[in-house]
Structure 1
Amino acid sequence: MTTNAMAVPGQSYESLRDEVRGLVQSWRQAGRYSPSSDSWLRGFDPEFSRELAARGLIGITWPTAVGGRGLSNVARLAVTEELLRAGAPVAAHWVGDRQIGPAIVRHGSERLKAEILPGIISADYVFCLGMSEPEAGSDLASLQTTASRVEGGWLVKGRKVWTSGAHHATHIYLLARTTRGEKKHVGLTEFIVDMDSPGIAVSPIVDLAGEHHFNEVSFDEVFVPEHRVLGEIDRGWAQVVEQLSFERGGPERFLTTYPILAEIVEAPAEAVADVAVDVGQLVARLATLRELAWQVARALDAGDAPVQQAATLKYLGNAFEHDVLEVARKAFDGGHGRRGRLGGSGFRSALLASPGYSIRGGAAEVLLSLIARQEIM
């Protein structure tokens, strides 16, 4: 098979795509990275992120007044598709670029923008997400971490779990309860916290593949200055919902296993003849998922928060990622068949990590609940 699985009609932004393709090709030829699955979460390389920053490829959707390029979310989608299909090591800047920066642009004070956005754009700041807790995963509004008012700011106490990249992070986005009431969605506030603040401790969580990117983060009376509040106090839930559209509606929700699909597609036809129909179906599904991602990007450009559309993309995308692995298992006999172990695409690692695909960013049951609330036209 020689079909390019990404060859789908649509707005192309070819100059951006060509720039990214040239960059990843030069890094691969120099042996500076090898394509891998889950690269947006596990592929941590600050130098690669700084190279993107030097080319103006981080924060491209942000206004020029804050250091961005003022381009569309559709333009950013073209960049991120190319990075993910190449399995490039983008984890160092991914969270900051994808959702924290846009949240600060929309809701942050002028002081917060000036303090944080330049560090994200330059790839000097690495963000992690302080959302999930031991007793509040997909039911995010049930979180128990508290932030109490003190002179000049807040004191935070509690724990966050499954915090990817916290051991590398310079900053953490933190969702904490600032007021208790009858409705759990009320009384939540967003904060931007320095990871070197006294009272923060990071404990590693090693996954089934023996890899460390998850962590538990504890906060023991951590002081957060008043100006590090993101948006409105006690009204953070609406901002979280908007932010999740950025998190759930991107191509990382269906391109995590693309390097493995590409290896099958690019294999000699006779070597994978027994899965030809399966591969054709995967490529067709990929085209549909890409169109959904473009719809989400266009909605974001229109100023909307496409909650249901993003949930739909993530739900269908996670199923696609799992099916790619199943087809790979058949094509390569679990990595020990006709062509031997999959080269470079990390089949074993991806397979062991795959149970988490449908949990991170929201469990399938939560996504189906959101999808069911869509208006019937």
Structure 2
Amino acid sequence: MRFDLPEIPPDSEKLRGELRAFLAEAGRDWSPTTRARSWMGFDRDFSRAVGERGWIGMTWPKPYGGRERSSLERIVVLEEMLAAGAPVGAHWIGDRQQGPLILRLGTEEQRNRILPGIARGELAFCIGLSEPDAGSDLAALRTRAERTATGWTLNGRKIWTTFAHKSDYMVALVRTSPVPEGGSRHAGLSQFLVDLRLSGLSIRPIRDLAGEESFNEVTFDDVKLRADDLIGQEGAGWAQATSELAFERSGPDRYLSSFPALNAGIDALNAAPQPGAEVTIGRMVARLATLRGMSLSVGGMLERGESPQVEAALVKDVGNVFEQALPEHLRNLLDPGESTSELREILGALAQLAPTFSLRGGTREILRGIIARDLGLR
């Protein structure tokens, strides 16, 4: 397992300057809670404005709405968006993994129909993986697509589907043939592009303990799909879906979700210094720098066409530990009376959000199992 630091493109600082100017203007009225939510915030107007500047799908070919820029330049965009606490949820999933999936394995019709809309910030995606009886044990999923004379009929349920109630499309992993007797449960799974406006499809938001309704249960009742809604090869869905996880697990969103609190906390400590704060802050910044280097390394591997699934799992696991611990470190450092109202609001929002950081994109236990298997420990 290696984490070789790649060369950052020389013109990335110009791009970073453009982003900071844009975000300073766009974010003038963002509340501290909005900044704390960051990539869990959903704002279609903001996503369209980002798309207008060519910062969505920016690595894709120009005929599909892309700008043919490098993966490392894209990471610069992600870093600045997260550091500012921008509400990027309306385009995040499509840009991060569903667009690249369609670009790599989709038909030409799918690419032309879907990718430009994602790049413009007009199409929002959700991920159809977990089911009521198949969460971490994803291979146990039961949602089925059965072939018909004109396409497919989809029946079943997906759950914990983030932003399904606000999205336009889902990429769903479903069973298209039974498990072979004595064979792998990973066989017979396929991925489909599902228009969330189709007849027979219903979406029920799930209210969590924080009062949020970002998670959803999606039910398919004889939903009719076209033959060309299949993505990639029939029966190859497991390999396709797991290859996406390197994109989902290695990005800056796996260690920068609490970053707005760090900025506000350092400002508060500069105004009211606390004994020993420099040591704690120094350790947090050092860990942040290490995680950034690891994430950039995975970005370099993806740029070269490699599949760094284990390295990505490690970035997510270690990154989640960091971003969940950061708000608590700040609370321990600061007297509540010395905290700014902005910092108190950010920390209050993160107290509700942080427990989810180690669930989304794969639980800590699943990630450590992947890492242990690669190291020969299981």
- TM category (shorter chain) comes to over 0.9
Cα-to-partner distance string for 1:297-319 (whole Å, 9 max, x where unaligned): 00001111110010000000000
1:156 aligns to what? 154
2:315 aligns to what? 313
DSSP-derived class of the 1:373 partner: helix
2:360 aligns to what? 360
- Distance in 2 between residues matched to 1:228 and 1:272, nearest whole Å: 58
1:11 aligns to what? 8
Cα-to-partner distance string for 1:241-268 (whole Å, 9 max, x where unaligned): 1101100010000000100111112224
DSSP-derived class of the 1:70 partner: coil
Q: Residues 265-280 of structure 1 correspond to what in structure 2 (within 5 A)? A: 265-269=266-270, 270-280=272-282
DSSP-derived class of the 1:346 partner: helix
Amino acid at match of 1:198: S
Residues 27 and 86 in structure 2, CA contact (< 8 A), matched pair in contact too: no
- Distance in 2 between residues matched to 1:338 and 1:344, nearest whole Å: 10
- Describe the shift of the 1:332–1:236 C-alpha distance in structure 2 as closer, same or farther (beyond 3 A): same
Q: 1:167 deviation in Å?
A: 1.1
- Distance in 1 between residues matched to 2:354 and 2:104, nearest whole Å: 33
Cα-to-partner distance string for 1:52-76 (whole Å, 9 max, x where unaligned): 1101111001122322111121111
Residues 259 and 345 in structure 1, CA contact (< 8 A), matched pair in contact too: no
Q: RMSD over aligned Cα, in angstroms?
A: 1.9
Matched, 1:281 2:280: no
1:189 aligns to what? 190
Matched, 1:294 2:291: no
- Describe the shift of the 1:61–1:53 C-alpha distance in structure 2 as closer, same or farther (beyond 3 A): same
Residues 104 and 112 in structure 1, CA contact (< 8 A), matched pair in contact too: yes
Matched, 1:174 2:172: yes
DSSP-derived class of the 1:267 partner: helix
Residues 162 and 216 in structure 2, CA contact (< 8 A), matched pair in contact too: yes
Amino acid at match of 1:116: I
TM-score by length of 1: 0.92
Matched, 1:53 2:55: no
Amino acid at match of 1:241: T
2:245 aligns to what? 244
DSSP-derived class of the 2:202 partner: strand
Q: Residues 39-188 of structure 1 correspond to what in structure 2 (within 5 A)? A: 39-41=38-40, 43-181=41-179, 182-188=183-189
Q: Residues 178-257 of structure 1 correspond to what in structure 2 (within 5 A)? A: 178-181=176-179, 182-257=183-258
Cα-to-partner distance string for 1:25-81 (whole Å, 9 max, x where unaligned): 01223x25655223112x111111101110111100112232211112111101000
Amino acid at match of 2:368: L
Matched, 1:20 2:19: yes
Residues 127 and 169 in structure 1, CA contact (< 8 A), matched pair in contact too: yes
1:338 aligns to what? 338
Cα-to-partner distance string for 1:81-117 (whole Å, 9 max, x where unaligned): 0000000010000000000000011100111111111
Q: 1:140 deviation in Å?
A: 1.5
Q: 1:200 deviation in Å?
A: 1.1
Cα-to-partner distance string for 1:204-250 (whole Å, 9 max, x where unaligned): 11122212211111111111111111100011111111101100010
- Distance in 1 between residues matched to 2:225 and 2:172, nearest whole Å: 10
**Gaps (5+ residues) in structure 1?**
1-7
TM-score by length of 2: 0.92
1:373 aligns to what? 373
Residues 152 and 225 in structure 2, CA contact (< 8 A), matched pair in contact too: yes
Identity of paired residues, percent? Answer: 42
- Distance in 1 between residues matched to 2:353 and 2:82, nearest whole Å: 17
Cα-to-partner distance string for 1:170-224 (whole Å, 9 max, x where unaligned): 1111110111113111111011111110111111111222122111111111111
DSSP-derived class of the 1:362 partner: coil
Cα-to-partner distance string for 1:322-351 (whole Å, 9 max, x where unaligned): 110211221345xx4322544486212211
**Gaps (5+ residues) in structure 2?**
none
